[in-house]
Chain A
Amino acid sequence: MTRFLLHALAALAIAGIVHVFAVAAVPALSPRDAWTQVGAFGPDGRLNPVPRAAPGVATLPQIDPAMAHAVCRFDLAAGPMRIRARITETYWSVALFDRSGANLYSLTDRAAEGRPINLIVATPEQISQLRERPLPDSNEAIVVDWPASEGFVLMRVFVTSESAAPDVDRAIRAATCDRAQPR
């Protein structure tokens, strides 16, 4: 009996350890994590529009059908990234996610106080390099200190009415997410 209890306790201890490791391993093993799904909308290093949420449309899971979305997967290994857009008279937000899908930074039109979207995403080393050799018109940009190499941008723009949808789509197509080029 005591031997059975000992085995049961041992099984419980093993189950606990396996449980903790299994839960912790899911983000690394998930075949459908946000990073993978975001990559399906176009090449990395540029801003790709995401289809509006509608019945039967393959898009990002559980996004607001009232919003137009665009994504940009980036890798800072080859240099800092720059995100620029001019979206007016509607709610917008730009969120930066790390590879595991954690939202590390976000900016809304209210926080930007009506200015156009002008973000530079750089690693701490790249930021110190930018201080020595600034990019053109970088004094207007918001510099985001990125703790990793990879990440992705998610832009949300509120579509006030269906008649405003073409304007929003145009603004998103005109927005850029590319390598910050020193000139």
Chain B
Amino acid sequence: MSGRTLTAGPRLPILGARRTSSRAIVSPLRAFLALFVTAFVGVAGGLWSAWWVIQRGEPFGAVEAGPWRAFPSIGTPDADPYSRAIVARLGLVPLGAAEGLAFTARTDSEGRSLDGACTYRISGDTPSARLWTLSATDRAGGVLANQANRLVLTSREVLRDRDGQAVISVGAEVAPGNWLPISVPGPFQLVLRFYDTPAASQSLRTGLVLPSIVREGCR
């Protein structure tokens, strides 16, 4: 009896001690690793998602009319944090509501991406404005070079038909009348800016009508 207790006695505490010690060593390490991974995944996920939203460059609060989109709240003091980040990352100086509103189209009226290899016909009503300008840019907003060196078409120089309607051709092929040349094949965007327009103020933006962009053909 005494021998048993003697032999078993010292063994049991050792076994027990080993168990607790192995738990005491492995568990904190595992817990620490788990916390580390959790924190890392959290921080990386937060940074990545922030970067992703901002590099997309599309603020909230878009005003849409056909293929045209404008972001009236960007650059205003009450812009949301995402617009502020996008504006600051690109260094934009957006038009204020009293100045005007800029619309951008990346697709034609059927939703197909605008391509420099195609020709387009832009026609239809525009919101009342003192002045409008139409230019073609790359997807980052840089003005595109063209063979005729005509970078912009404005309401002052545009030719109108008897009903006062202006029809504009956009593309590489020389077109009679109003022509905005595009020399570079590949995706581009159209920027239509209205100056001194009631469309820039919130209350008059419902039922906004902008010209259609119709693809006429591609090379």
Residues of chain A having any CB pair with chain B under 8 Å: 3, 7-8, 10-24, 26-27, 30, 32-34, 36-38, 53-57, 60-67, 91, 93, 95, 97-98, 100-108, 110-111, 154, 156, 158, 160-161
- In whole angstroms, what is the CA distance A144 to B95 when docked? 18
Is B167 an interface position by the 8 A CB rule?
Answer: no
Residues of A within 8 A of B102 (CB): 64
| CB <8 Å contact, B46 and A108 | no
Smallest CB–CB gap between B217 and chain A, Å? 25
Closest-by-CB residue of A relative to B46 is: A18
Residues of A within 8 A of B91 (CB): 30, 32-34, 36-37, 60-61, 101
Smallest CB–CB gap between B58 and chain A, Å? 14
List 12 A–B pairs whose Cβ atoms lie within 8 Å, in order of A's numbering: A7-B37, A11-B41, A26-B54, A26-B84, A37-B91, A55-B143, A97-B75, A103-B76, A106-B98, A110-B130, A110-B196, A158-B195
| CB <8 Å contact, A14 and B133 | no
Residues of B within 8 A of A97 (CB): 75, 93
| CB <8 Å contact, A66 and B154 | yes
| CB <8 Å contact, B43 and A14 | yes
Residues of A within 8 A of B92 (CB): 34, 61-62, 101
- In whole angstroms, what is the CA distance A22 to B85 when docked? 9
Given contacts A101-B88, A160-B156, contact A56 B145 (CB under 8 A): yes
| CB <8 Å contact, B152 and A104 | no
- In whole angstroms, what is the CA distance A107 to B45 when docked? 43
Residues of chain B having any CB pair with chain A under 8 Å: 34-35, 37-39, 41-43, 45-47, 49-51, 53-54, 75-77, 79, 81-82, 84-85, 87-100, 102, 130-131, 133, 135, 137, 141-145, 151-152, 154, 156-157, 191, 193, 195-196
| CB <8 Å contact, B99 and A156 | yes
Given contacts A55-B142, A93-B99, contact A14 B38 (CB under 8 A): yes
| CB <8 Å contact, B195 and A106 | no
Residues of B within 8 A of A160 (CB): 154, 156
| CB <8 Å contact, A66 and B152 | yes
Residues of B within 8 A of A64 (CB): 102, 133, 135, 152, 191, 193
| CB <8 Å contact, A7 and B88 | no
Residues of A within 8 A of B34 (CB): 3, 7
| CB <8 Å contact, B145 and A14 | no
| CB <8 Å contact, A65 and B94 | no
| CB <8 Å contact, A103 and B195 | no
